[in-house]
Chains A and B, each alone.
Chain A
Amino acid sequence: MDLSHLKNKIAIVGVGYTPQGKIPGRTAASFHIEAVRNAIEDAGITKDDIGALIVYRHFDAIAGDYETTAFTIGEQLGVSPAIISQEHQCTRGWLFNSIGLLNSGLVNYVVISYGDNARSGKRSYVKELSGGKATDELAAYGDLSTMAKYAMLARRAMDTYGTGPDVWKEISVAQRRWAQLNPIAAMHGKPLDYEGYYAANMVVDPLRLLDATPSSDGGRAIVLTTAERAKMLKNPPVYIRGIGSANRPVSPFKLDLEDDRNAATVSSRMAFEMAGIEHKDVDACELYDCFTYTVEATLRDYGFFKPSEVKEFITAERLGPGGELPVNTSGGMLSEAYYMGLTPVAEAVMQLMGRCGDRQLGKVPGSKTPEIIVCSDNGGVFQSHATLVLSRED
């Protein structure tokens, strides 16, 4: 598939943040609309410029909240975009959809948003039960978590490649080191060592509490437009040099570790080929890290290391501040905040715009100013995947 005609044609031009961490007394929608307001202000456009509003999937309303839909968010922003949509479940189509919409000329600006009150609302993420009754077959086996589905692939990788907690602790510690440089990260001021990692409770063996992303209140939004328009806006544009998208819509239990149809593998090949880059050209990775193991699996499936070399490759020194391959420089979902794919994408954009303060690559001792950052967005249990190769230069 030749996607080279799309290279550097679309740019990300604005990022919107909200207060994050534990922010009680607010609806999920309030975080979406605050993030969108801040993103369009950051991009220097008005709300009437929003041609398409694409909202991430939303879990069930919690804590007395109402359902968070794209209609609600549109209403609360007072906008009437040509396109309004919401990703159902955990599909990751927003990237290609945005590019299609912008290239078609139907819309000039696309806004993507995510928001939740998961932390204050104590979201359980158990979808196998509703009101204490099974919603499908899985509850009959006591399988009540997404975490177990990831844990099974992690276990298989332990047996096949020799990975395990001694590798995942490196990811956990590396990202926690980054969080110490990011004042808005949930784990800022809470350093972690290996002992602390091992001391965390086992939740679904082989995964511990610190292998999993904690939930957050807050939201995040980004603005995309064409390269021509991007050049006239106030922020330095961050160009989409390569994109990949792939799905493996099978039951998570049927995913095989060694399968070249895996979504991350297919998606990354597409993106690297379109961008015309090799792994050595990548200055940093901002990866969807619902679990530590997801970072390992993504780097492996993207071809950054050979499966058998996992222990040598994944070290806190390499991935952390000053390392050879910085990964999740905001702290990631594990140590900054969980806003689905917008945690990694927003951080990559901010790094390439040079707006990252103490954690800015190029300023962190031993790091270089980034030209190319690779991002991943992962949905379901490795079932839906998008890859972005973002670049400072067009």
Chain B
Amino acid sequence: MPWEVGLAETHQTLVLNDLRGRVRLQTDGQMRTGRDIVIGGLLGAEEFGFGTTTLIVMGCIMMRKCHLNTCPVGIATQDPRLRKRFAGKPEHLINYFRFLAEEVREVMASLGIRKFNDLIGRTDLLEVAPNSHWKAKSANPSLLLHRPAEADKYATYCVQDQIHKIDAILDRTLIEKSKNAIEKKEKVSFSVPVKNTDRTAGAMLSYEISKRYGDDGLPEGTLSVDFNGSAGQSFGAFLAKGVTFRLNGDANDYLGKGLSGGKIVVVPPKGSTFKPEENIIIGNTVLYGATAGEVYVRGVAGERFCVRNSGALAVIEGTGDHCAEYMTGGYLVVLGKVGRNFGAGMSGGIAYVYDVDGNFDYFCNKGMVELSKLDNDEDVSRVKSMIQKHIDNTDSEHAKNILSNWSSTQPKFIKVMPVEYKRALEEMKLKELDKKLEGIIEEEEIGGKA
């Protein structure tokens, strides 16, 4: 779809509804010249994106081999031999944009416009060039060039900053109460109510921590917060190291998004009567892009649990469809039923599933993964210790049952592992061994000489 069409419609609709003043409109797609920019402005945009052109300026010759690592001008490649051939310079881009700006000024001057904002949406300054192409006959651009009458009374470009409404959110309280933990690394714990309009709880708190300590976060167990209620979206997002969030209740989607070393525990509220291992207590898309940390949930998750997880450790009692999708790292133990398409596109990490009904095979997408039993000590001790931690954190009856009947439950565990990941790990192990062997041989040689 040419950008002109979408842009004109968006702009006109926003003006009609007096919303245009609240947003910035950006357009892109084959933007090349100052003239393109001015036309974009006249149709309603105030920001412009440049893709191909800027690449060309840096030396791209449209090889269309960006996916092969063989870019001969060193742009879309990590091959050091080819990167040496990169001849682009920041100055080239600076130059290009300077010329662009210059041309924009020239066109504006020719239109008698002083400020760019003054031309936004001025479709009256555009006219349709005659075009004899047969396809042009049936095209009627008049709607693109329409200027709503409302443009006379409402703003036609961004005049108002966004109101973020983050002055009084839950994180302000969290930060305030965690002051001593954040500033002096003192042990702090407290409890707060939470409701589903409290979004991204913990993200700003984590910012305060990582601003001071970077990736290291706080020492293990420094800050611990108990939440009671129903948490909003992205509970515990980006949670930093040294912070534990314990939620008595349930949570919406995106719990633990981008988890960065913190720990999240979710348990049903005290006094609830349902069976946790059969009921969903957290939403979809949990641990999206998490890099480190732990999550223990006494209950079942929605869909896409652990999607794109690249390093966190999670224990859960059941999940919906697409669990472990695109996972690239970390460990996952599911102590119950899963939905279909388990492990689609999973390229790293390991998942262990307690296959109660013996039909996991049916639910798994085996495009990239292979299944096996818990047949070595490493796996067994890993799973057992993860379940133990789950019990320690959630007091799960279900988990206790599994662990106390280990001899009969262990055979029901299935290990899900990406084929490529396994190969890479084995290669790494072999290399380690080789190194050790070399070390031994060297030692022997040195010993022999002596």
A binds B: no
Question: Which residues of B are interface residues toward A (Cβ below 8 A)?
Answer: none
